[in-house]
Structure 1
Amino acid sequence: MTVDLERYLNVRAAYGASIGPDGTLAFLMDTTGTAQVWTVDGPETWPRQRTFFEESVGFASWSPERPELVFSMDEGGNERAQLFRLDADSGAINPLTARPEAKHRWGGWSNDGDRIAFAANRRERSVFDVYVQGRAESGDDADLIHQGDGWLSLGGWSPEDDRLLVVESHTSFDQDLYSLDLDSGELTHLTPHEDEVRYHSANWGPDGEALYLVTDRDADTLYLARLDLETRDLETVVEGGDWNVDGVSLDEDSGRLAYSRNVDGYTELTVGTLDGPTDIDRLPTPDLPGGLAGGVSWSEDADRFAVTVTGRAENTNVYVVEIGEVLSEAKNLEESERGAKRPASTESGESERWTRASTAGIPRDSFVEPELIHYESFDGIEVPAYFSLPHDPEPGETPVIVDVHGGPESQRRPSFSGLTQYFLSRGYAVFEPNVRGSTGYGKEYTHLDDVRKRMDSVKDLKAGADWLAGHEFVDEDRIVVKGGSYGGFMVLAALTEYPDMWAAGVDTVGIANFVTFLENTGSWRRKLREAEYGSLEDDRDFLESISPINHADRIRAPLFIIHGANDPRVPVGEAEQIAAAARDHGVPVELRIYEDEGHGLSKRENRIDAYTDVVAFLDEHV
């Protein structure tokens, strides 16, 4: 069965679930070509579309008390998200913020559903302040509760709605947590520390006297901990061990929680109920397909939760896991005080798919699962990678696409990708390395590419290409390097550092010049990026020395470049300057700039347009 690219790019995704107070499930789905809000009333019942915009919706969150939800949307990928309230009964949509010059970062509903909170850079573009406003008020009525001086976001309302959890990010790996009293405006620092420490996925505990969070304080990997808000003591709840505990979701009323462990890129999900401050009554492991799961949303009674599920051979859908009734708060307190131990639940943890995002008629059994491999780099470091071979490969004749993730503080995980499956169906192998600097493998591994060690990660790419060249099925003369954002930099760096290794390069929203990138990126994120790459003040010469634009004369391989005109992270000038420089040296270059896109391609019609040309480009040159 031969299926064209457009069909593969029409495989749908349903994700970002939120369970309403009456049990209705809201989620995002890209049926129309951009992610919109949809709802269903039961498992695989007919979905109802709730928003009808050309732009993608960023999230949807039900009110805890009323049939209404808040969602976000930007314009043309500019990332200046605005908040809107949707009345689920009437379908009416009302703008809550209407400040298109500012970014708005959702902070959650109050528990009584009367107010919302958000962080925004309205006052000054490089900093975020904290705002609270009534559920039906406009942005002009928002109360400025706290003026920030850095990158602030919110972690939700306390159980009594008297405090907000505030997160300040100094770098991607260094955060501080604060409690903001809404009556007095007092900001209490909860996590004073000297060295770099990650604090994320923080949840208020059932009594509001503690936080349950994920951290790597005094450890290489992330673990689940309880932070006492009075004593500031941090107690371990679940050890990290060899793998990160990468997220936790806690229902305040019931003490039910779910946490995930990232095991070589795959999700291990554990569900339970707090039995005292740091003990968990574990429930049966949910029966979920795909290998990756996240984004937990609890029902009102915490007897079920919704979660997004995906896998390399499993397109993205929302499942609901049934976990049974919980004891009342009074009963929990009574048993805790007398030290009683409850038996583990006998509920099965069975899951049911609630959404049916289609595979566009492509048989699921045609999708290819990757093999997890490890290869040795120049200094002996073992680099993990996912390697996928097409069906029935010919020895020594298989072209390969080396696909590099962005970030760099990120990790390639085996989620579904229609584009990846298309390339596999066309006879390409796909190689996805998690080079040094990737998350998921501990703090030490993540810092192996910082600032002056930047090019060591590019050497990891070379080592991966060397591994491929020795593989029995691979044609070493037809290895393509492809990536987006920081992965786009890796493409350009690979082409300039090792020009004879590659048959072609595909760069999407990539960094060509670290100096102009840092000068022109959004002011709110410059400080965080300098912590990773180096500062303009102290490291300018080094940044110039590693910028691909300054070595464009070395490029030999044909180059395809994709960029969004509204990109606030990596401005479009990065694409324009590397395209011009490569062309000046006689390199075949294709440049596609999309006027209604930002940092990547969010609209299906643009993805189809761009990757149809990429396929033709690779057919010609590879």
Structure 2
Amino acid sequence: MTTEPYTPAQVPERLFADAEAENRWQARFHAARMSLPGWPLDAPDACVYVSNASGVWEVYTWDRRTGEHRRVTDRPNGTLHATLSPDGKWVWWFNDTDGDEFGSWRRQPFTGDHTDAVPALNEVPDGYPAGLEIGERLTAAGVSTDEGSRLYAVTAEGTECFYENADDASVAALSRDETLLAISHSEHGDSRHPAVRVLTTAGFGTVADKWDGQGKGLTPLSFSPVAGDQRLLVLHERRGREELLVWDTATDTETELPLDLPGEVVADWYPAADALLVVHFHQGRSSLHRYDLATGELTALDNPAGSIGNASVRPDGTVEYSWSSGAEPSSIRARTPDGDDRILLSPPGDRAPGSAAIGDAFVEGAGGRIHALISRPVDAPDGPLPTVFNLHGGPHSADEDRFSAYRATWLDAGFAVVEVNYRGSTGYGSAWRDAIEGRPGLTELEDVAAVHDWAVGSGLADPKRCVVNGGSWGGYLTLLALGTQPTRWAAGVAAVPVADYVAAYEDEMEQLRSFDRALFGGSPEDVPAVYDECSPITYVEAVAAPVLVLAGDNDPRCPIRQIENYLDRLRRRDAPYEFYRYDAGHGSLVIAETIKQTAIEVGFARRALGME
């Protein structure tokens, strides 16, 4: 028995009576944004990026020689994954069906458009993407299906499946001379802490295989950009947090890089392979550094305070990066070797209106000190405020001091916003990230409860007007919170959630089943009690607050059937809920749809709290 899709009866035509406020919140979503342009080493003037300038996130090219920007894909539900061939002559993009993430790679000329696209890898079967490395002589592509992982090599001589395993694996890095290929695998049974294997592309024999043992992942990042240099940059967590090492595969020697930085890091090579560009994350903010491999000197590059999305180094040493803060919309910036830092690219149209700055709270919890990001509406009254606890997805992710049109809308609507980097979040060390193993969901909610207590006790949050909200894993936590903490919440908003974990496991993509087995300690057949204890549907009879659920018909991560199971149980109880169902996958790449969903969510919460 399933619940029929239900569009909320009171979808607001507008959120605000004031025309200026109404225009401002929608303008933040409509304002054109773009990802950091990427380029191939041998053709640095050919760039590719994704942007929402057309109203849908699509792929664009930028010819730095002519200055021309062009949209090159055109699909109803958008296109998010793209790269360029080494010579810059071909744009590759992933072709799925209406956001279901299952499909194949297509390619088209850099100077063409979507009508010129052709299948890029004819003999590689469709599946969920599991890495892609394009060389001049060899292309390696990974595919994940219900049967597991298969990795393929494509050359002029034909297509070869060189790796196959039931556990999660992916193509990670191809050496500059295309003689070595690094893959990430989880043959030891734990995809959350992967191993790295380096293969020779002449026969795909193993050069070396490394795994640091239980609870200690090794993540291959990239080979040196210099031909003949067989050093591989790797993330490790041997000292309880993600750090860097350089593995010289030719001599099988490692050099760990213990950087004097709190938090965690990721990095990429400078073009001459003499230094690394390090992106450092700590307490919700990012910073850029240059690490000299010969001297070990670490130099801060003094980027503005906020968060960095991606960063790369141009052939002349200029560092280009995407940046934003809670108050300032995103921009693409460039920092020259002499220290000049400026905006490099501005998308067409008006810049998004700004928003409120973000503060911090540090709250003691059962598992240690919890970091939360706190935002208050501009000119908010001093008394306790209606407050939305916006729980991030992942779970292995983190909230940051970055710009969010979504957060800004809640602030404009009069809510304080609390974002909790609960146990399970990244950037706070391996123990914090892995503390949810064996008891996911309930562990995170202990931290959310502690921050909720702090928010009420500090006078920020009105205890009778607290909303729990999130998407994906945050949606899962939202439904679990409504059932296990029913007296804390006046309403819940869950977007693309896990609602019935056993049914979700049955229907979700294999990559997530592998993740769940590592997180829960096995499959639902192996540890049924854990899945039962940690599934929102177990507690559905205790849900007291009205709940809004939003879900995509084609979602492979949080499939629709298990959400229908949960809503059917609510319906049998005559519990108050609303259900918005849309034709896309794990979220939408269409801006008009995003605006509609945001209006539905904020409007629902305001009605539930009696604010309208």
Provide TM-score, normalisation by structure 2. Answer: 0.88
Q: Determine the C-alpha separation between the residues in 2 that align with 1:93 and 1:253.
A: 34
**Residues 293/371 of structure 1: CA separation in 2 closer, same or farther (3 Å cut):** same
Q: Determine the C-alpha separation between the residues in 2 that align with 1:485 and 1:117.
A: 30
Q: Determine the C-alpha separation between the residues in 2 that align with 1:311 and 1:128.
A: 38
Task: Kindly state the Cα deviation for residue 168 of structure 1 after the two structures are TM-superposed.
Answer: 1.0
Q: Which region of structure 1 is more displaced relative to structure 2, 93-102 or 385-394? A: 93-102
Alignment partner, residue 337 of structure 1: none
Alignment partner, residue 153 of structure 1: 170
What do residues 534-561 of structure 1 show as CA deviations (whole Å, max 9, x unaligned)? 4213320232133221221211111000
Q: 2:362 aligns with which of 374, 378, 403?
A: 374
Alignment partner, residue 73 of structure 2: 51
Provide TM-score, normalisation by structure 1. Answer: 0.86
**Residues 282/446 of structure 1: CA separation in 2 closer, same or farther (3 Å cut):** closer
What's the RMSD between the two structures over aligned residues?
2.6
Alignment partner, residue 139 of structure 2: 116
Matched, 1:191 2:179: no
Contact 1:15 1:316 in 2 (8 A): no
Matched, 1:316 2:330: yes
Q: How does 1:166-565 map to 2 (within 5 A)?
A: 166-169=183-186, 170-205=189-224, 206=226, 207-217=228-238, 219-230=239-250, 232-239=252-259, 242-245=262-265, 247-251=266-270, 253-275=272-294, 279-280=295-296, 282=298, 285-289=300-304, 291-299=306-314, 301-323=315-337, 347-348=338-339, 350-357=340-347, 360=350, 362-364=352-354, 367-377=355-365, 379=366, 381-452=368-439, 454-535=441-522, 536-565=524-553
- Aligned-partner SS, 2:559: coil
Alignment partner, residue 614 of structure 1: 601
Contact 2:551 2:580 in 1 (8 A): yes
2:179 is aligned with what amino acid? Answer: D
Q: 2:84 aligns with which of 50, 62, 67?
A: 62
**Residues 203/441 of structure 1: CA separation in 2 closer, same or farther (3 Å cut):** same
Segments of 5+ residues of structure 2 without an aligned counterpart are 1-19
Contact 1:256 1:302 in 2 (8 A): no
Matched, 1:31 2:53: yes
1:89 is aligned with what amino acid? Answer: T
Q: Which region of structure 1 is more displaced relative to structure 2, 247-256 or 558-567? A: 247-256
Task: Kindly state the Cα deviation for residue 87 of structure 1 after the two structures are TM-superposed.
Answer: 1.1
State how many pairs are aligned.
Answer: 579
Contact 2:32 2:53 in 1 (8 A): yes
Matched, 1:10 2:30: yes
What do residues 472-520 of structure 1 show as CA deviations (whole Å, max 9, x unaligned)? 3432211100011121121111111111211110001111222222222
What do residues 122-161 of structure 1 show as CA deviations (whole Å, max 9, x unaligned)? xx63322222335xx8xx9533233344222122211221
- Aligned-partner SS, 1:194: coil
Q: Determine the C-alpha separation between the residues in 1 that align with 2:270 and 2:205.
A: 26
**Residues 95/307 of structure 1: CA separation in 2 closer, same or farther (3 Å cut):** farther
Contact 2:32 2:351 in 1 (8 A): no
Q: Determine the C-alpha separation between the residues in 2 that align with 1:221 and 1:423.
A: 34
Q: Determine the C-alpha separation between the residues in 2 that align with 1:357 and 1:152.
A: 36
1:15 is aligned with what amino acid? Answer: S
- Aligned-partner SS, 1:616: helix
2:91 is aligned with what amino acid? Answer: L
Q: Determine the C-alpha separation between the residues in 1 that align with 2:129 and 2:231.
A: 27
Segments of 5+ residues of structure 1 without an aligned counterpart are 324-346
Contact 1:14 1:355 in 2 (8 A): no
Matched, 1:142 2:162: no
2:33 is aligned with what amino acid? Answer: A
Task: Kindly state the Cα deviation for residue 254 of structure 1 after the two structures are TM-superposed.
Answer: 4.1
Task: Kindly state the Cα deviation for residue 361 of structure 1 after the two structures are TM-superposed.
Answer: 5.5
- Aligned-partner SS, 2:606: helix
Contact 1:265 1:412 in 2 (8 A): yes
What do residues 158-210 of structure 1 show as CA deviations (whole Å, max 9, x unaligned)? 12211211111453531111112111221233314333322225222344333
What do residues 425-449 of structure 1 show as CA deviations (whole Å, max 9, x unaligned)? 1211100001112111111111222
Q: Determine the C-alpha separation between the residues in 2 that align with 1:545 and 1:281.
A: 49
Q: Determine the C-alpha separation between the residues in 2 that align with 1:452 and 1:52.
A: 43
Q: Determine the C-alpha separation between the residues in 2 that align with 1:198 and 1:14.
A: 32
- Aligned-partner SS, 1:354: strand
2:332 is aligned with what amino acid? Answer: V
- Aligned-partner SS, 2:410: helix
Task: Kindly state the Cα deviation for residue 43 of structure 1 after the two structures are TM-superposed.
Answer: 11
Q: Which region of structure 1 is more displaced relative to structure 2, 441-450 or 16-25? A: 16-25
Q: Determine the C-alpha separation between the residues in 2 that align with 1:470 and 1:57.
A: 45
**Residues 102/240 of structure 1: CA separation in 2 closer, same or farther (3 Å cut):** farther
Alignment partner, residue 575 of structure 1: 563
- Aligned-partner SS, 1:2: helix
Matched, 1:107 2:132: yes
1:270 is aligned with what amino acid? Answer: H
